[in-house]
């Protein structure tokens, strides 16, 4: 009986890859882990030629794992070399937290399943609402942008390079002159278009205040629309 394929998740995780190339010279470089699972991943952006059977190291954040190369493909000038890897037996998955976050997202009810009352209570409005977005794991400079539409529970940001679904973020926004910081998670990712973000750290009273702010701005702009 053919074994059932293990679940995989499409992500874009920055990793460090190191080991010996096909030329028997050591290498150490940045790459991206995509289509990950508990036991393996597809790596893209590899600059060193590798061979099936090679054992390399992968570091994601402060976690490392030794992996065996399963397949190698020349993906062209942009993606460079892509390789499929599987973790050596006994190695711990370095992106286990990210997998769990995505699984939690997919197990939660879709926003479309909200009650009619909730939809009326938190109507979305298409207004340029300023926000700052920071990767939930990194304390780098925030990305300053405008939400394309927003309500008290979340927003949609138009961007050519959206974060993958399940990505944990930190959002700064302003209710009147008060700065509010909230945890958030990417609920939908539309490549080359944008991403839907849910605010996960706002209590009901702050959600209400944000909704009032949004509706006031929409009334002033005259550009409100219901989604």
Q: Would you state the structure tokens that stand for residue 11, as one six-digit string?
A: 């992500």
How far from the centroid of its chain's Cα atoms is residue 175's Cα?
Answer: 26
Do 68 and 88 form a contact (C-beta atoms < 8 A)?
yes
The CA distances from residue 138 to 5, 61, 168, 188, in Å, are: 32, 10, 10, 21
Domain 108-221 sits in CATH 2.40.10.220: yes
C-alpha span between 195 and 174 (Å, rounded) = 20
Beta bridge partners of 146: 130
C-alpha span between 185 and 187 (Å, rounded) = 6
User: Which tens digit of pLDDT belongs to each residue from 105-143?
Assistant: 555 555 554 554 454 468 888 888 999 998 866 656 788
C-alpha span between 40 and 86 (Å, rounded) = 4
Q: Count Cβ atoms within 10 A of the Cβ of residue 176 and give its class: 0-12 exposed, 13-18 middle, 19 or more buried.
A: exposed
Beta bridge partners of 178: 175
108-221: same fold as 13-95? yes
Q: 46 falls in which pLDDT band (50, 70, 90)?
A: very high
Do 122 and 212 form a contact (C-beta atoms < 8 A)?
no
- Topology of the domain covering 13-95: Thrombin, subunit H (2.40.10)
More confident residue, 129 or 3: 129
CB atoms closer than 10 angstroms to residue 155: 25
Place of tokens 């750290």: 201
> Looking at the whole model, is its pTM more than 0.85?
no
Domain ranges of the chain: 13-95, 108-221
Q: Would you state the structure tokens that stand for residue 170, as one six-digit string?
A: 């930190």
User: Which tens digit of pLDDT belongs to each residue from 135-159?
Assistant: 866 656 788 999 989 999 999 998 8
């Amino acid at each position: 009986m053919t074994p059932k394929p293990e679940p995989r998740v499409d992500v874009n995780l920055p990793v460090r890859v190191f080991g010996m190339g096909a030329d028997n010279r050591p290498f150490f470089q940045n790459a991206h882990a995509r289509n990950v699972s508990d036991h393996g991943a597809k790596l893209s952006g590899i600059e060193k030629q590798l061979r099936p059977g090679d054992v390399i190291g992968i570091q994601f954040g402060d976690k490392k794992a030794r992996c065996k190369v399963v397949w190698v493909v020349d993906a062209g000038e942009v993606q460079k070399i892509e390789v499929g890897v599987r973790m050596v037996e006994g190695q711990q998955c370095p992106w286990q937290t990210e997998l769990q976050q995505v699984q939690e997202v997919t197990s939660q009810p879709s926003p479309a399943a909200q009650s009619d009352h909730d939809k009326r209570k938190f109507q979305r409005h298409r207004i340029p609402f300023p926000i700052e977005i920071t990767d939930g794991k990194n304390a780098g400079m925030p990305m300053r942008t405008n939400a394309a539409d927003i309500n008290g529970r979340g927003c949609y940001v138009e961007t050519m390079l959206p974060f993958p679904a399940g990505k944990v973020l930190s959002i700064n926004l302003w209710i009147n002159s008060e700065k509010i910081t909230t945890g958030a998670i990417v609920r939908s990712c539309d490549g080359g278009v944008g991403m839907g973000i849910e605010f996960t750290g706002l209590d009901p009273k702050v959600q209400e205040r944000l909704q009032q702010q949004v509706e006031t701005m929409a009334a002033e702009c005259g550009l409100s629309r219901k989604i």
